[in-house]
A and B are shown apart, each in its own frame.
Chain A
């Protein structure tokens, strides 16, 4: 096999793994959108906030230390202990659940029945708020997430595949972290699907997604379900935040992965979990391949910024509800 062809395959594999991460973020959107009709722009900032909190808890930082120092003139910054990773993850999860409850109780409970665009705006406000709170709590410097996840290229894969090509081919370069992320994301997706299909709460969740009033009339508490989906979205955000944070450091740009998830959603349809996964894979592979074949050689690179949107835009012109979205029926 020629080296070019093999590099193409490598690009596709890397694209698939990036796509799984996109799908992971997109899942968080779909969960909330299906259950409450809220298009949650804050999903990316939730990932950032979760990762920041995890780092802060692990390192034993004092929350709001900058603010406290500025107001009272003190000099505190760390408690002086370190929390083991597993415990820190559990604590962070508790914080995300508390956050889910607070969001439901203070904001969206009051906005039930508003137009979707108003709800969308509220989540943008929420994103600003959460970003500010995250910075205030833990400081805005770039942090490294030391969870002990494997880093760097995998030598085993490289050696194992080196024999496929000629002398100028050294095997596939695949990041270990990407492989871990792919496995974790697949497990999480399987877990979520299982939860939605086979548990009582999961069924209640799907019932709410289908029809609010019918769900209410059989005795399902909408408030509880909404807190539940926000908590699940928090969990997804935590996992996405950990994976992306381990890859490129915990910093503001982490919240921009939410923007990356939007074309995934458009492609897959806002209301479909399989759509989010397939859309994520298509976008991941598509943008890597486009960059490799056309973007870098002919257009000067960095096409990843917009290619996904253009792909989704062109696709939508032919199929406005996305790949797996519910058919849009309009009546006067």
Chain B
């Protein structure tokens, strides 16, 4: 009734190959963008930005990045935290080294540097597969965190070993540093997320995305039909790390402002982003959003219920949160191994026939 694929005729190649070929999807996309850009910045306050919106936007970028690697190309990575750290420290070095250049360029360059590092750590994927690769990416995680801890050049020899984001402006508005307005934080993350999501969506629809999926489904068969595994796997690692690096840079510069590497980019972060794409749905851009939203909102909601309403001690709620997140993950995997994105697909199937299901 509401969701129609039939009757949506295309009369040109442009119309047929646009990002959202179905009219309903296109309207929804514009509506979400309009709300995100024109409504939310005017109504949010400091609490909502710091607790929900900015972490959601940043994790969504990281989840899209990891989803490209794991969901589309089938290479499981546990090094997300380490790659986010590369993005953060690259951004920091660029910000302090070239203070006159715009921070937007710094963040993009930080993504580029992370892409190079990611491709280097992706090289073993040509030999190692499956779990062995997942564990091998842990080498990246631990090595990178150790590197940023030990080599003081990376944190400009500061005594605390922390990195602090200096104040930077985009079009005259502060986006980093202590005086940033909540809406400015929100907007810069939103712009980056929108561009990244569009990029990812179109990459995965094109030649390169199809070669990733061929590798994921069966790499030997893909090789036989002429997909170059070296190129496909390394581009997947590079593109994925590019997004993850951008999210790491934003996480440091815009969200936290000051970062200690072991705390902010530890192994827990890798698992968190992995959970996001598992719960959201592997191989789906929408799933990355859904998973990030779910895992950002869940702890906040549990905290509000436990600490504020029931008045329980904070550590008890933190433990309960672990139990609930763990149980939910197992529950989801049993009931719907393909994640929230699959639930959405099923809903669309139902809507297509509603109200006459036969």
Q: By the criterion CB–CB under 8 Å, are A316 and B131 in contact?
A: no
Considering the chains assembled together, what is the distance between the CA atoms of A194 and B337 in angstroms? 38
Q: Mark A298-323, 1 if CB is under 8 A from B, else 0.
A: 01111101100110110011001110
Q: By the criterion CB–CB under 8 Å, are A140 and B315 in contact?
A: yes
The verdict on A185 contacting chain B, using a C-beta distance below 8 Å, is no
**A-chain residues with CB within 8 Å of residue B326 when the two chains form the complex:** 125-132
Q: By the criterion CB–CB under 8 Å, are A114 and B337 in contact?
A: yes
Q: Considering only CB atoms, which chain A residue lies closest to B321 in the complex?
A: A132
Task: With A270-B131, A316-B127, A320-B129 as known contacts, state yes or no: A70 contacts B136, CB within 8 Å.
Answer: no
A37 to chain B, nearest CB (A): 10
**A-chain residues with CB within 8 Å of residue B36 when the two chains form the complex:** none
Q: By the criterion CB–CB under 8 Å, are A306 and B330 in contact?
A: no
**B-chain residues with CB within 8 Å of residue A129 when the two chains form the complex:** 322-323, 326-327, 330
Q: By the criterion CB–CB under 8 Å, are B333 and A125 in contact?
A: yes
Q: Considering only CB atoms, which chain B residue lies closest to A107 in the complex?
A: B330
The verdict on B354 contacting chain A, using a C-beta distance below 8 Å, is no
Q: By the criterion CB–CB under 8 Å, are B132 and A136 in contact?
A: no
**B-chain residues with CB within 8 Å of residue A130 when the two chains form the complex:** 326
Considering the chains assembled together, what is the distance between the CA atoms of A266 and B313 in angstroms? 42
The verdict on A56 contacting chain B, using a C-beta distance below 8 Å, is no
Task: With A114-B337, A121-B333 as known contacts, state yes or no: A316 contacts B128, CB within 8 Å.
Answer: yes
Q: By the criterion CB–CB under 8 Å, are A70 and B319 in contact?
A: no
**B-chain residues with CB within 8 Å of residue A309 when the two chains form the complex:** 135-136, 138-139, 142-143
Q: By the criterion CB–CB under 8 Å, are B131 and A120 in contact?
A: yes
Q: Mark B66-107, 1 if CB is under 8 A from A, else 0.
A: 000000000010000000000000000000000000000000
The verdict on A282 contacting chain B, using a C-beta distance below 8 Å, is no
**A-chain residues with CB within 8 Å of residue B221 when the two chains form the complex:** 332
Q: Considering only CB atoms, which chain B residue lies closest to A319 in the complex?
A: B127
Q: By the criterion CB–CB under 8 Å, are B322 and A70 in contact?
A: no
Segment of A144-152, A225-233, A257-265 in the binding face: A257-265
Task: With A310-B139, A330-B220 as known contacts, state yes or no: A135 contacts B319, CB within 8 Å.
Answer: yes
**B-chain residues with CB within 8 Å of residue A328 when the two chains form the complex:** 129
A40 to chain B, nearest CB (A): 11
Number of A residues with CB within 8 Å of any CB on chain B: 54
Considering the chains assembled together, what is the distance between the CA atoms of A27 and B297 in angstroms? 38
The verdict on A122 contacting chain B, using a C-beta distance below 8 Å, is yes
Q: By the criterion CB–CB under 8 Å, are B132 and A316 in contact?
A: yes
**A-chain residues with CB within 8 Å of residue B149 when the two chains form the complex:** 302
The verdict on B224 contacting chain A, using a C-beta distance below 8 Å, is yes
Q: Which of B120-175 contact A (CB under 8 A)?
A: 124, 127-132, 134-136, 138-139, 142-143, 145-146, 149-151
Considering the chains assembled together, what is the distance between the CA atoms of A115 and B130 in angstroms? 11
The verdict on A118 contacting chain B, using a C-beta distance below 8 Å, is yes
Sort A-B residue pairs by CB-CB distance and give the 8 closest, nearest first.
A129-B326, A132-B322, A125-B329, A128-B326, A309-B139, A132-B323, A306-B142, A135-B319
Binding site for B on A (CB under 8 A): 39, 66-67, 70, 107, 110-111, 114-118, 120-122, 124-133, 135-136, 140, 259, 262-263, 265-266, 270, 299-303, 305-306, 309-310, 312-313, 316-317, 320-322, 328, 330-332
Binding site for A on B (CB under 8 A): 76, 124, 127-132, 134-136, 138-139, 142-143, 145-146, 149-151, 218, 220-221, 224, 267, 271, 274-275, 278, 310, 312-313, 315-316, 319-330, 333-334, 337
13 new A-B contacts at CB < 8 Å, known A136-B316, A300-B151? A66-B316, A121-B278, A122-B333, A124-B274, A129-B322, A129-B326, A263-B135, A303-B146, A305-B146, A309-B143, A316-B136, A320-B127, A330-B220
Residue pairs across A and B with Cβ atoms less than 8 A apart, 24 shown, are A67-B320, A116-B131, A118-B333, A118-B337, A125-B325, A127-B326, A129-B326, A129-B327, A132-B320, A132-B324, A136-B320, A259-B138, A263-B138, A270-B132, A300-B150, A302-B150, A305-B146, A312-B135, A312-B136, A313-B139, A322-B132, A330-B220, A331-B220, A332-B220
